Amino acid sequence: MTEPSTILVDTHCHLTLDAFDNDRGQVIQRALTTGVHKIVVPGIDLESSQEAIALSETYPSIFAAVGIHPHNANHWNPSYREKIISLAKSSKVVAIGEIGLDYHRNLSPKEQQLNVFRFQLDIASELKLPVIIHNRDATSDIIDYLVIWSKRQQVLVGSGMGVLHAFSADVTTAFQMIDAGFLVGIAGPITYKNAASLREIAIKIPSSSMLIETDAPYLTPHPYRGKRNEPANVALVAEHLSEIIGQDYRTTARITSQNAAGLFGWQNGTNYSILH
């Protein structure tokens, strides 16, 4: 699937979910064997944020993000702010996320989603951390909030405001977010036959604005669609992306890994020299 010397980063993988309870260690080992040397595990609530940190402290290749997913916004209470700030003090926490808006499933009231989104953007500002953004059928509000928020920011830990994870909006939105300092997350759906709009985005935006991810256990790429996704499959995303944009696979791996390192500000000791 990939050359052993090629370094990949899965910038979004939910390894804390129970889908991995029976073989989490083997999944992580398969990722390493495939060349996935770093994995970002975002929280979706306080419990999963704590679990992501614990996982990152067990495995050097794993980093954590902490936050409340819009599906869980209705659970927010005033104590969450300080709890998230406390969790983010871990040296392995590289972002606030997964946060955002979801008007498709609407598992939390819209107004509550908006409030919790704003609260967590404020936390990211205070801590100078990038954000990992979930957007489903909420593009207009996402743009409004993030453009205003990005203009208020000073220098963050890494380089960039955050990432629009598993990007599914249009080309115009992609460039609006890039202009605001965000990266675009490319996931498994780019391998699907009906993903013409995603392929158009990949062709038109610069490689310097892309990250690759799995969103495992979800969004499994072709030819394994319908099965559980896992971080090793980010190599399939990289391969397909390379074919679409007419770029050498190793170059895609190098650029997207460097983009991730810049955004998330990996700790000292990370060596990307073998990518060059």
- Whole-number mean pLDDT of the chain? 93
For residue 271, pLDDT over 90 is answered with: no
Give the model's pLDDT for residue 6: 78
45 CB contacts (<8 Å, ≥6 apart)?
Answer: 68, 69, 72, 75
What's the CA gap between 139 and 143, in Å, rounded?
Answer: 6
Q: Could you count the other beta carbons within 10 Å of the beta carbon of residue 76?
A: 19
Q: What is the mean pLDDT of residues 251-261?
A: 97
What's the CA gap between 4 and 33, in Å, rounded?
Answer: 7
Give the model's pLDDT for residue 268: 35
What's the CA gap between 198 and 93, in Å, rounded?
Answer: 29
Give the model's pLDDT for residue 158: 55
What's the CA gap between 64 and 51, in Å, rounded?
Answer: 9
**Predicted confidence (pLDDT) per residue in 81-109, tens digit:** 999 999 999 999 999 999 999 999 999 99
DSSP bridge partners of 216: 13
For residue 4, pLDDT over 60 is answered with: no
**Predicted confidence (pLDDT) per residue in 39-93, tens digit:** 999 999 999 999 999 999 999 999 999 999 999 999 999 999 999 999 999 999 9
CATH superfamily of this structure's domain 8-267: Metal-dependent hydrolases (3.20.20.140)
What's the CA gap between 7 and 212, in Å, rounded?
Answer: 12
DSSP class of residue 166? T
Give the model's pLDDT for residue 74: 97
Residue among 1, 4, 15 at smallest CA distance from 228: 15
| For the chain, percent of residues with pLDDT exceeding 90 | 90
For residue 251, pLDDT over 60 is answered with: yes
Q: Which of the two residues, 179 and 271, has the higher pLDDT score?
A: 179
Domain ranges of the chain: 8-267
Q: What is the mean pLDDT of residues 235-264?
A: 97
For residue 152, pLDDT over 90 is answered with: no
Taking a C-beta distance cutoff of 8 angstroms, is the pair 149, 122 a contact? no
List Cα–Cα distances, 44 to 56, 78, 156, 206, 219, in angstroms: 16, 17, 22, 29, 17
For residue 157, pLDDT over 90 is answered with: no
DSSP class of residue 241? H
Q: What is the mean pLDDT of residues 28-41?
A: 97
List Cα–Cα distances, 211 to 27, 51, 56, 78, 255, in angstroms: 21, 24, 20, 33, 9
Give the model's pLDDT for residue 269: 35
Give the model's pLDDT for residue 14: 98
pTM of the model: 0.94
| 217 phi and psi angles, rounded to 5 deg | -85, 10
Give the model's pLDDT for residue 272: 33
Enclosing H/E stretch for 117: helix 110-127
| For the chain, percent of residues with pLDDT exceeding 70 | 92
Would you place residue 274 in the very low, low, confident or very high pLDDT band (cuts 50, 70, 90)?
very low
Residue among 235, 212, 229, 213 at smallest CA distance from 2: 235
**Predicted confidence (pLDDT) per residue in 177-216, tens digit:** 999 999 999 999 999 999 999 999 999 999 999 999 999 9
